[in-house]
Structure 1
Amino acid sequence: METEIPALFRAREAVAPERFTFHSSRMRMKEVTKKELEAMDADSTRCAAELSDARVDVLGYACLVAIMSMGKGYHCVSEQKLAQITLDNAAPAPVVTSAGALVSALEVLGAKKIALVAPYMKPLTKLVVEYIKDQGIDVGDYRALEIPNNLDVAAHDPRNLVGIAKQLDHQDADVIVLSACVQMPSLQSIEIVENELGKPVVSAAISTAHQMMRALDLPAIAPGAGALLSGKYADAPYSPSLPIAVK
């Protein structure tokens, strides 16, 4: 979140006039387990309040599996809850969760079936797969990299994803999700895989950036980030879970 989201917005700055600042508040989590993810999510209201103190224009909740581990459809609950925190703090701002953003991105791309790569252990990866299926998008082949430590997830070499993607059975997939996790870097491999497989390739981070740009009522574009941010979907509708004022 703190590397690829700013990189995507900086790429946008190269082709558009708007400029951005970035602010973060952390929820603690070391091992990617359901117990730690639940504790992490419980701390999200504190983070939303702290960030709204800075009068930010949009908030991004950057842990896809933390949301998905809380139950099917929970991204809507989380977005409403955190948006209400900003409203109560007299600093209303839209909230984008990476879980909700990925679902929205797949809908924008018209995906009926996807193939997916995730860094999580197999039980959590299966949970992610079932969450996406519950949103009406079929998941065919998927790969769980089984990296338990969160710092090791961030240290995973994104270049390895090129070979991993080629190993997926992707023939019937409309879209490839190269990283179903904002912690696992993938940006430098997105367009490589897209060109080699001949179909759209996205990540949780790219999806989040797309939705954050649309939440700001800006065209969602960023060179070098694949089909979703190519400009083709720059004006895709943004539908927040809770209607609130946007600066």
Structure 2
Amino acid sequence: MAHRRVGLIVPSSNVTVETELPEILRRQAGLDISFHSSRMRMTTVSPAGLAAMNVQRERCVIEIADAGPDVILYACLVALMAGERGEHHRVESLIAEQLATGDSPARIRSSAGALMEALAALSVRRVALVTPYMAPLARKVVDYIEHEGVTVADYRALEVEDNHAVGCIEGSRVMAAARELDLTGVDALVLSACVQMPSLSLIAQAEAEFGLPVISAATAGAFSILRALDVPAAVPGAGSLLESGTDFYDVAVRHKTSI
């Protein structure tokens, strides 16, 4: 069994992504994997805080490439979705160029791109979201997703700006926000549009309750990493997206017809 290394570029105050991603991917049968992080300083989820964080990207890419990862995840969704339209395409391309210049064979993914990849895999046209962000940032995320071709039917912003506090949001609060959403005609629910807001333990419960495919920034990131490693997803207990042998379109249709 070949050993695979995953590099993570994360905000300095993030802790959840380094908990949930390993938990997800270590459930994948036949995968020997380790995780290695580099950090960008950020404690406040605000436009100024995100802009100051993003300028640290090149340093982090150099640092994490030294660990010899097979794939690197730029693990902050709002950092890119709060930027220009299509920002994840631009940033992933810039990082790929930087890695190639340094003779690193690592593949690059981002949380923003992974979410769009997951929605495409599930044939999602209409989605609902729960975000921890302040309302203006949440609106930017909604606009970004819609520019990528997916309609956001409804969303909730929990308006938590302190990134340490985002990592402590209770599951009951996340589920309460999800229950407020109008899910009429929705193809999937994004229970946490943020790798720092915990939700992995809620995914299976939410799928059963809402009768929809339920994903998060973390499960989408895991899905994209597995694709980058050319490993078919076979992860139990983390939602339809990561189930073994899933026909994504059929899953989406089956859940919708059960509502």
Normalised by the length of structure 1, the TM-score is 0.91
Q: Which amino acid aligns with 1:27?
A: M
Residue in 1 aligned with 2:252? none
1:211 equivalent to 2:227? Answer: no
Residue in 2 aligned with 1:72? 85
Q: Which amino acid aligns with 2:18?
A: E
Q: Which amino acid aligns with 1:199?
A: L
Residue in 2 aligned with 1:191? 204
Q: 1:225-236 counterparts in 2 under 5 A?
A: 225-233=238-246
Q: Which amino acid aligns with 2:21?
A: I
Q: 1:1-247 counterparts in 2 under 5 A?
A: 1-12=17-28, 16-233=29-246
Structure 1 residue ranges (4+ consecutive) displaced by more than 6 angstroms after TM superposition: none
Q: Give the structure with the higher percent strand.
A: 2
Structure 2 residue runs without a partner (length 5+): 1-16, 250-259
Q: What's the offset of the Cα at 1:41?
A: 1.2
Structure 1 residue runs without a partner (length 5+): 237-247
Q: What RMSD, in angstroms, separates the aligned Cα atoms of the two structures?
A: 1.5
In structure 2, distance between residues paired with 1:48 and 1:141: 35
In structure 1, distance between residues paired with 2:179 and 2:107: 37
CA contact (8 A) 1:210 1:221 kept: no
Change (3 A) 1:154 1:28: same
Deviations 1:63-100 (A, max 9, x none): 00001112110101111111122212211211110000
Q: In the comparison of the two structures, how many residue pairs are matched? A: 233
Q: What's the offset of the Cα at 1:234?
A: 8.4
Change (3 A) 1:49 1:235: farther
In structure 2, distance between residues paired with 1:166 and 1:217: 36
Q: What's the offset of the Cα at 1:192?
A: 0.3
In structure 2, distance between residues paired with 1:234 and 1:149: 39
In structure 1, distance between residues paired with 2:179 and 2:120: 23
CA contact (8 A) 2:129 2:152 kept: yes
CA contact (8 A) 1:220 1:234 kept: no
CA contact (8 A) 2:129 2:155 kept: yes
Q: What's the offset of the Cα at 1:233?
A: 4.4
Residue in 1 aligned with 2:253? none
Residue in 1 aligned with 2:9? none
SS at match of 1:221: coil
Percent sequence identity is 45
Q: Which amino acid aligns with 1:187?
A: L
In structure 2, distance between residues paired with 1:231 and 1:29: 36
